[in-house]
Amino acid sequence: MQYLLWSSVIALLISACAPPPTARRAWDSANGITSLWPLLEREWAGLDNLTTEASVEFELDGVRDRATALIQVKGDDLFRMEVRGPLYSHVFTALQQGDSLTVWGPAVGGAWKGAARGSLLRQLTGMDFGQYPLARALLGWVEPAPTGGALQVEYERADRAVVTVTNDPMRRRLWVDLYRGVFLREEIRDAPDRLPVTRTMSDYVAVGPLFLPQRVEIAQGDVRITVVYQNYDLKRVLNAVQFESGISEEQLLRVDY
């Protein structure tokens, strides 16, 4: 009994000393959910020279594979993800340059090139990321609601809202933390004949002007990808040379755009 009492006291002291959860100070929930969109885009537009390391888990039909990844991002146009397995063995590298995506390595059986938001990712992962390029999908970034679409907001409780955005044929549901101004979950259905994609974002931290989740889980059907970020570096200067594949055009296997 005494042990339980002391355990409760210690737990309360730890929680009292813990730093408050990260929040977007520039956002006021009184201005409505849609006021988050320009903040998100302004933050993403300033994303440059981001380097991060992460652990990655890929699960298919209950079978799990684990790896580590080095991710480099330079805006929307340049993204590189190098995935390594046991003993630093090369699993695959994904490189996005503008609207094209190149993936190569033992895990994919050669070198493939296709559209950044096309069928290549579906063929390689068994998952459809919808309108998201790989960088935004993996970093847990949420696209603003498009103009012209229907938007409905339901308040589950005082600190949480569910936003439904419909822009035929796509339908998205977003779970928003109203106190912190961050997205906790997203569900995307972009075609009646495809299973919805869900993304769950947690453990947000401030990274310069950005608010990024340290844990991102993406699931569709029996496929699940979990990325846990270990650190973020904004000081390492990236240049175009670091985003070259070294793969000749003759080696590439094309995928329809």
Q: What percent of the chain has pLDDT over 90?
A: 36
Supply the pLDDT for residue 109.
87
Between 171 and 83, whose confidence is greater? 83
In 57-210, alpha helices (H)? 119-125, 134-139
Lowest mean pLDDT among 6-20, 127-141, 199-213: 6-20
Tens digit of pLDDT for each residue in 103-156? 999 988 889 998 887 778 777 777 877 678 888 889 998 888 776 668 899 998
**Nearest-5° Cα angle at 17, 14 to 19:** 115
The contacts of residue 133 (CB under 8 Å, 6+ apart) are 76, 79, 96, 101, 116, 117
H or E element that contains 19 = none
Whether 13 shows a pLDDT value over 50: the answer reads no
CA-wise closest residue to 218 among 195, 204, 232, 201: 201
Supply the pLDDT for residue 21.
52
* Architecture of the domain spanning 26-246: Clam (2.50)
Supply the pLDDT for residue 147.
67
